Amino acid sequence: MFERFTKDARAVVVQAQQEARALRHDRIEAGHLLLALTAVEGGAARALDACLPGLDGLRARVRAEIDGLDPDALASIGVDLSAVRQAAESAFGEGALDRDRKEKRGHLRFTREAKKVLELSLRVALSNGHRFISDGHILLALLMLPESAPVRAMRNAGAELENVKSAALREITAEAA
């Protein structure tokens, strides 16, 4: 399957691992794939950018979804996460509130859901009669999992999923031409 991946799609897979590492996560989740799709300049990033008021907001939402510790959600009930973090760190040292995960060397593994996304990207390519899999196909594959953290993040960031879908379809159709 990977031999069908375009340069951008390969870059997304590599970038997803870097996104996971940067967050000190020990697995590559579907959310890291979405972070990577926003970071690699390609059809998927263009499609997302066209449907959202800025990719930074989406990235923040994805991180909050993956991490669970959402500063905005806490602020909505009057809890100042930065104050709590400061208190915890002054007593227990830097990173005291971070999820307790060891930094992993070598390749990170994909979660079952992230694997599913990559498999679905092949299905998206086949159903569109494409012999290649680009970052746009990966985005369309993500959209097939409406309950996943990255798709929740897209909705919470204010994206109309139908618009993202049609923008991504336009991108992959243009790439095939």
DSSP 135-168: HHHHHHHHHT-TTSHHHHHHHHTT--HHHHHHHH
CB count in 10 Å sphere of residue 84: 14
Q: How far apart (Å, rounded) are the C-alpha atoms in residues 69 and 81?
A: 9
Q: Among residues 10, 18, 49, 70, which is the contact residue for other proteins, using CB under 8 A?
A: 70
CB of 125 to other proteins, least distance (A): 34
CB of 156 to other proteins, least distance (A): 8
Q: Does 78 bind other proteins (CB under 8 A)?
A: yes
Locate all alpha helices (DSSP H) within the chain, ordered by sequence.
7-22, 30-39, 43-51, 55-67, 71-75, 81-92, 112-127, 135-143, 149-156, 161-176
Query: 2 vs 92, which CB is nearer to other proteins?
Result: 92
- x/- string (CB under 8 A) for other proteins, residues 18-57? ----------------------------------------
Q: Among residues 102, 105, 107, 131, which is the contact residue for other proteins, using CB under 8 A?
A: 102
Residues that bind other proteins (CB under 8 A): 64, 67-71, 73-79, 81, 84, 88, 92-93, 96-97, 99-100, 102, 156
